Amino acid sequence: MTTRTVRTIGLSIALLAVAGTTPAIANEVSKDACIESHSRGQDAKDQGKISLARKLFLSCAQSGCPALVQGDCARFADELTRTQPTLNFTARDASGSDLPDTSVYVDGVLTVTRLDGNPHDVDPGAHTIKFIHGSKDQTVTVVVGSGEKGRTVSATFGDPVAAGAGGTAAVGTAPAKKKSPSAKRPLGAKMMIGAGTLLVLGGGTMGVLGMMRVPDNCSLSTHECAAPPGDPSFDTASSAVQLSNIGWITAGVGVVAVATGFAWYIGGKKTAKEDNVVAAPWVTSDSAGFAVMGRL
């Protein structure tokens, strides 16, 4: 015994029980038709045929059906109305003008004879949509989800010369917008921060080493050495002070480079297409600096 048969028998028994206590004013054939629509609607609903199930439930939700069946069918019809997917069909020419004199077939069934902008009910799942305008036709396959409302399926019938010898037309949904290049932080700023950090570390190391090489009998604050003229400690102290000065200058340049790099990194953005940038520190016996070459 099938599920449909069980439902039909159960509903019939319930109706007989109600009929035993009320006057028999409803036509027996009408009762049978209501019960049949209720049962077939349940089967169609279980099979995913929402359009058919909704029509069947609407037919048994009429006032001529027994109250028990009518209430059940009305509730099911309302539920299916919310989950019933709908499609909107549009057709345009190559210039973008609407072509209302276009017919549409859904799965081989004529659904629209003239485009009017109204939504049309379909079942969830895959559907073959065929547009016909004049002597041209185009077909597209779409997959519709349950509850998807107002999805637009369009066809563009181009000029035969522009479309090619076959006079083909483009069919489908609107083309995706070209994604603009994502913004990136400037490469030069990153290189400046990195090189500046190296200058700070290297210059600081040179400054400390220079100070450590100053002889004990020499004072950095007075710039004097407690030694007789011509003593090697004078040359050693001079060399150490020069090394220390170059180190601190280099570290200072590094601090400026790091600060500038961070400001540039935060305030400046470039697209994904970067220009080539080369950054490099430089140090001589008398000075130090930071060079950036290329378009920033």
What is the structure's pLDDT at 191?
A: 84
Name, of 86-90, 228-232, 236-240, the range with top average pLDDT: 86-90
Distance from C-alpha of 192 to C-alpha of 64, rounded to nearest angstrom: 85
Q: Which residue has the tokens 């909107």?
A: 88
Structure tokens at 193: 């921060």
- Single out the residue of 142, 147, 149 nearest to residue 118, CA to CA: 149
Q: What is the pLDDT of residues 144-188, one digit of tens each?
A: 998 899 999 999 997 654 444 444 455 555 555 556 666 667 777
Q: What is the pLDDT of residues 236-285, one digit of tens each?
A: 878 878 888 898 898 888 788 888 878 877 876 655 454 555 556 655 65
Q: Is 49 helix (H, G, I), strand (E, B) or coil?
A: coil
Name, of 132-136, 186-190, 193-197, 224-228, the range with top average pLDDT: 132-136
For residue 112, what is the enclosing H or E element? strand 109-112
* Arithmetic mean of pLDDT, 51-66: 91
Which of the four pLDDT bands, split at 50, 70 and 90, describes residue 205?
very high
Alpha helices per DSSP H over the chain = 3-19, 28-46, 50-60, 67-83, 160-163, 187-212, 232-267
What is the structure's pLDDT at 162?
A: 44
Return the amino acid letter for 23.
Answer: P
Task: End-to-end CA distance of the chain: give it in Å, rounded.
Answer: 81
Least confident interval from 125-129, 143-147, 289-293: 289-293
Q: What is the pLDDT of residues 5-39, one digit of tens each?
A: 445 444 444 444 444 444 444 444 478 899 999 99
Taking the model in full, what pTM does it have? 0.44
Are the beta carbons of 242 and 152 closer than 8 angstroms? no
The mean of the pLDDT values for the chain is 77
Backbone torsion region of residue 294, taken as left when φ is above 0, otherwise alpha when ψ lies between -120 and 50, otherwise beta: left
pLDDT at 48 over 70: yes
Which of residues 124 and 268 earns the better pLDDT score? 124
Beta partners for 218? 225
For residue 154, what is the enclosing H or E element? strand 151-157
Least confident interval from 51-55, 253-257, 286-290: 286-290
pLDDT at 290 over 80: no
